[in-house]
Structure 1
Amino acid sequence: MRSLSNILQLGIKELRSLARDPALVALIIYAFSLSIYSSATAMPETPNRATIAVVDEDRSQVSARLKDAFQLPYFLPPTLIDHRQMDQGMDSGLYTFTLNIPPDFQRDLLAGEQPAIQLNVDATQVSQAFSGAGHIRQIIQSETAAFVQRYQGSAKQPVEAVVRIAYNPNLDASWFGAITEVINQITMLSIILTGAALIREREHGTIEHLLVMPVTPLEIMLAKVWAMGLVVLVASGFALRFIVEGWLQVPIQGTMALFLVGTALHLFATTSMGIFLGTVARSMPQLGLLIMLVLIPLQILSGAVTPRESMPVPVQLIMSLAPTTHFVELAQSVLLRGAGLGIVWPKLLALIAIGAVFFYAALRRLRTTLQ
Structure 2
Amino acid sequence: MNDHNTHAAAHAPARRRGRSLVHNTWHLGIKEFHSLLGDWTMLFLIVFMFSVSVYADARAKPESLHRAAIAVVDEDRSQLSTRIVAALQPPQFIAPDLIELGEMDKGMDAGRHTFVLDIPPNFQRDVLAGRAPALQLNVDATRQSQAQTGTGYIQSIVNDEIRAFVLRYSTAAPQPVELVPRALFNPNLSQSWFAAVTSIINNITLLGILLTGAALIREREHGTIEHLLVMPVTPLEIMLSKVWAMGAVVLLASALSLQIVVKGMLGVAVPGSALLFAFGTLLYLFAATSIGIFMGTLARNMPQFGLMAILVLLPLQILSGALTPRESMPELVSTLMAFTPTTHYVSLAQGVLFRGAGLDVVWPQFLMVALIGGFFFTLAHTRLRHTIGKMQG
TM-score (norm 1): 0.90
Which of 342, 345, 351 is the aligned partner of 1:324? 342
Counterparts of 1:15 and 1:56, CA distance in 2? 66
User: Alpha-carbon deviations, 1:97-121, whole Å to 9, x = none?
Assistant: 3444344322221011233434444
Matched, 1:285 2:284: no
Distance 1:110 1:306, change over 3 A: same
What's the CA shift string for 1:271-294, capped at 9, x where partnerless? 011111111111011111222222
**Larger deviation, residues 324-333 vs 212-221:** 212-221
Q: Distance in 2 between matches of 1:257 and 1:350?
A: 19
Partner of 1:32: 50
SS at match of 1:151: coil
The letter for the 1-side match of 2:220 is: R
Is contact 1:44–1:128 with CA below 8 Å preserved after alignment? no
Amino acid at match of 1:154: A
> Any idea what SS the aligned residue of 1:152 has?
coil
1:209 alignment partner, one of 218, 222, 227: 227
How does 1:344-359 map onto structure 2 within 5 Å?
344-359=362-377
Q: 1:307 to 1:93 in 2, by over 3 A?
A: closer
RMSD value, Cα: 2.5
Q: Which one-letter code corresponds to 2:333 in the other structure?
A: V
Structure 1 pair 136/291, CA: closer, same or farther in 2 (3 Å)? same
Percent identity of paired positions between Structure 1 and Structure 2 = 58
Of stretches 297-306 and 111-120 in structure 1, the one that deviates more from structure 2 is 111-120
**Distance apart, 1:237 and its partner CA:** 1.3
Unaligned runs of at least 5 residues, structure 2: 1-18
What is the letter of the counterpart of residue 270 of structure 1?
Answer: A
Of 169, 176, 201, which aligns to 1:158? 176
The equivalent of 2:33 in structure 1 is: 15
- Whether the 8 Å CA contact 1:52–1:96 is kept in 2: the answer is yes
C-alpha distance in structure 2 between counterparts of 1:134 and 1:310, whole Å: 22
The answer to whether 1:360 aligns with 2:378 is yes
Report whether the alignment pairs 1:310 with 2:328.
yes
1:245 and 1:67, CA in 2 relative to 1: closer, same or farther beyond 3 A?
farther
Contact 1:53 1:86 in 2 (8 A): no
Task: Name the structure 1 match of 2:166.
Answer: 148
| Residues 118 and 310 of structure 1, relative CA distance in 2, 3 Å threshold | closer
Give the equivalent residue in structure 1 for 2:14: none
Map of 2:6 onto structure 1 = none
Tell me, yes or no, if the aligned pair for 1:43 and 1:127 is still in contact at 8 Å: no
Query: Which moved further from structure 2: 291-300 or 118-127?
Result: 118-127
Deviation of 1:309 after TM superposition, in Å, equals 1.8
1:81 corresponds to which of 91, 98, 105: 98
1:45 offset after TM fit, Å? 7.2
Deviation at 1:71, TM superposition (A): 4.5
2:250 to 232, 246, 271: 232
Q: Which protein is bigger by CA-based radius of gyration? A: 2
Q: 1:45, 1:173 within 8 Å by CA — same for their partners in 2?
A: yes
Give the match's secondary structure for 1:252.
coil
Report the CA distance between 1:96 and its aligned residue. 3.9
Within 2, Cα distance between the matches of 1:301 and 1:221? 28
Task: Find 2:315's aligned residue among 289, 297, 305.
Answer: 297
Normalized against structure 2, the TM-score is what? 0.85
**Higher mean Cα deviation, 156-165 or 100-109?**
100-109
